[in-house]
Amino acid sequence: MTWWCWVLLVVGVFFLSVVVYDLSQRQHALLRNFPVIGHFRYLLEGVGPELRQYIVVDNDAEKPFSRDQRRWIYTASKHANTYFGFGTDNDLEASPSYVIVKQSSFPLPEPHPGDPAYDDLFGAPAGKVFGAARGRTRTYRPSSVVNVSSMSYGSLGAKAIEALNRGAKLAGCYQGTGEGGISPYHGFGGELVWQIGTGYFGCRDLQGRFELARFKDVVAAHPEVRMIELKLSQGAKPGLGGLLPGAKVTPEVAAMRGITEGVDCWSPSRHSAFHDADSLLDFVELLASESGLPVGIKSAVGQIDLFDRLATLMAGGGRGVDFVTVDGGEGGTGASPLVFSDHVAFPFKVGFAQVYRVFAEAGIDNEVAFVGSGKLGLPENALLAFALGCDVVNVGREVMLSIGCIQAQRCHTGRCPTGVATNSPWRQRGLDPTLKSTRAAGYLVQVRKELLQLSRACGVAHPALVTLGHLEFVDDRFGARPAADVFGYAPGWGTPSVADRDEIHRLLERPPTEMQS
């Protein structure tokens, strides 16, 4: 053999070895799906800081999540070093509405082994008991202030749903099912919030109407369901229904949703079981009385009249929602027309403040638990959400990044390259649910840990005790405004009641195993 034949043989053996390794390893879904060429992504990512000194894209330029934000999520999920060196690369003095956390001169000390707060898994239970104000028989205090947002099986693939459910169990938090209902892949030990959308999947008759008997059967068969969430709208596609093409309505999906196999599945833009605030409360009370579970609503915020009417009715009677989930118009994995993504519904900070103000002015803000959703999987955003009045936050796209998403923005095509947002068996084969569950848990725990660190830096022991007084916004004119002034909050708004504050302190003094129970 000539020398060049030997070179070709060596090169061929090398690439064959790489292919065999990529197909057999389970650490990276991208490499299993795209052997050899997938390595270029990691190579370019590794030399990115050097290249970006000469190329226009910087660490904070990309949307919806910047390179810095994605890097933090990836390293957190892998239990790697989440520190950044050489100071911030954000322009603090030229960024309008840049949030600043005002640390205390006497912060609380960092917890140490043996201190109950040291256990990050169960060191941050929710400050409120969901359903307690209305006397529900199966009240629920989430063990974690950070949880997995509702994303349906069908929107995400089976392996991604399984990984998130396993991760939720490891992290001691709940997972929202999405409007697609409870699938077999939600059954790996994580607590669930069953989301019921306009299609009533899992509890509908053949005409698509709500069926109480099926609802009761599902609740009885799934003790892991801890709350019911009625989805009025979502930030990804506010004001629109949804479509699952018939090609994706497999026998399994059809059985789970209670629909016809192979036929396009439409979610209407509005509910048929109720038509206004008054009938909504009747429906909430029906579900609560039949299940004993806390029942709440989820909505992106546009016209505020529904919340005005709800608060008026709740203040004057015995009916009421147990929690309100406010979803930001920033969007999520759901596909929608560009104009809806860009211009319909308020972003989270604006929308949540408007909704909270309605309940606070009615004097019932402490009778309702508030859940935030909309790019809150970053510690500084989550801290602001708690200061505005959230009791827990839900994270969606960020936890998708933790299990392998690379922000390819192909969620709506079914061609997700890492197998997260697709039903394709070929694309899903690279995603190992067991491994990725530890990545999801690692990320969720790190968010909680940094929330606790931020809270202690402010001089309080729990994120729910952080107020808008701990935050200010700087602008591009060398000015700063108190956060309470920016959002128009009156003194005392956004803070737990005295009883809830006492309970939070009591919980933080208990051993982690007691908090879990």
Q: Give pLDDT, residue 49.
A: 56
Q: What b-and-e string marks burial along 210-236, b requiring 16 or more CB atoms within 10 Å of the CB?
A: bbeeebeebbeebebbbbbbbbbbbbb
DSSP secondary structure letter of residue 478:
S
Q: Give pLDDT, residue 355.
A: 96
Name the amino acid, one letter, at 500: D
Q: What is the largest CA-CA distance in the chain?
A: 92
Determine the Cα–Cα distance for residues 40 and 37; give it in Å rounded to an integer: 6
Q: What are phi and psi of 295, to 5 degrees?
A: -125, 130
Torsion of CA 197, 202, 205, 210, to 10 degrees: -40
Determine the Cα–Cα distance for residues 216 and 225; give it in Å rounded to an integer: 12
What pairing do the DSSP bridges indicate for beta strands 174-176 and 323-327? unpaired
Comparing CA positions, the residue from 323, 440, 357, 372 lying closest to residue 73 is 440
* Three-class secondary structure assignment of 243-311: EECHHHCCHHHHHHHCCCCCCCEEECCCCCCCCCHHHHHHHHHHHHHHHCCCEEEEEECCCCHHHHHHH
CB count in 10 Å sphere of residue 481: 12
C-beta pairs of 415-419 under 8 Å, 24+ apart in sequence: 416/157, 417/30, 417/33, 417/34, 418/29, 418/30, 418/33, 419/29, 419/33, 419/157, 419/159, 419/160
Q: Which two three-digit tokens encode residue 26? A: 């389970």
Domains of the chain, with CATH numbers? 18-57 (no CATH), 116-516 (3.20.20.70)
Comparing CA positions, the residue from 387, 335, 20, 330 lying closest to residue 152 is 335
Q: Give pLDDT, residue 208.
A: 84
Our measurement of the distance from residue 479's CA atom to the centroid of its chain's CA atoms, rounded to an integer in Å, reads: 33
Q: What are phi and psi of 207, to 5 degrees?
A: -90, 0
Q: Give pLDDT, residue 56.
A: 55
Torsion of CA 78, 79, 80, 83, to 10 degrees: 120
Q: Which two three-digit tokens encode residue 179? A: 């409007």
CB count in 10 Å sphere of residue 280: 22
Q: Give Cβ neighbours of residue 35 (< 8 Å, ≥ 6 apart).
A: 18, 19, 22, 23
Asked if residues 267 and 194 have their Cβ atoms less than 8 Å apart, the reply is no
Angle at the Cα of 30 from the Cα atoms of 24 and 36, rounded to 5 degrees: 70
Q: Give Cβ neighbours of residue 319 (< 8 Å, ≥ 6 apart).
A: 281, 282, 284, 285, 313
pLDDT in tens, the chain (517 residues): 677 777 777 777 777 887 788 788 877 777 888 887 887 777 776 666 555 545 656 666 667 777 788 888 888 888 888 887 766 767 677 677 788 899 988 898 876 666 655 554 456 889 899 999 999 999 999 999 999 999 888 888 899 999 999 999 999 999 999 888 899 999 999 999 999 999 898 898 888 899 999 999 999 999 999 999 999 987 556 556 666 666 567 777 777 777 778 777 777 888 999 999 999 999 999 999 999 999 999 998 888 999 999 999 999 888 999 999 999 877 665 566 667 777 777 888 999 999 999 999 999 999 999 999 988 999 999 999 999 999 999 998 899 889 888 777 777 777 788 878 877 788 888 888 999 999 999 999 999 999 999 999 999 989 999 999 999 998 777 778 888 999 999 998 988 888 888 888 877 765 444 333 3
Q: Which two three-digit tokens encode residue 322? A: 């147990």
Determine the Cα–Cα distance for residues 155 and 257; give it in Å rounded to an integer: 13
Name the amino acid, one letter, at 442: G
Query: pTM value?
Result: 0.86
Asked if residues 180 and 153 have their Cβ atoms less than 8 Å apart, the reply is yes
Q: Which two three-digit tokens encode residue 37? A: 């060429």
Determine the Cα–Cα distance for residues 458 and 439; give it in Å rounded to an integer: 29
Determine the Cα–Cα distance for residues 409 and 8; give it in Å rounded to an integer: 38
Q: Give Cβ neighbours of residue 320 (< 8 Å, ≥ 6 apart).
A: 133, 134, 281, 284, 313, 314, 364, 367, 368
Comparing CA positions, the residue from 297, 303, 398, 296 lying closest to residue 351 is 303
Determine the Cα–Cα distance for residues 446 and 152; give it in Å rounded to an integer: 24
User: Where does 8-161 show beta strands of DSSP type E?
Assistant: 98-101, 146-148
Determine the Cα–Cα distance for residues 205 and 214; give it in Å rounded to an integer: 8
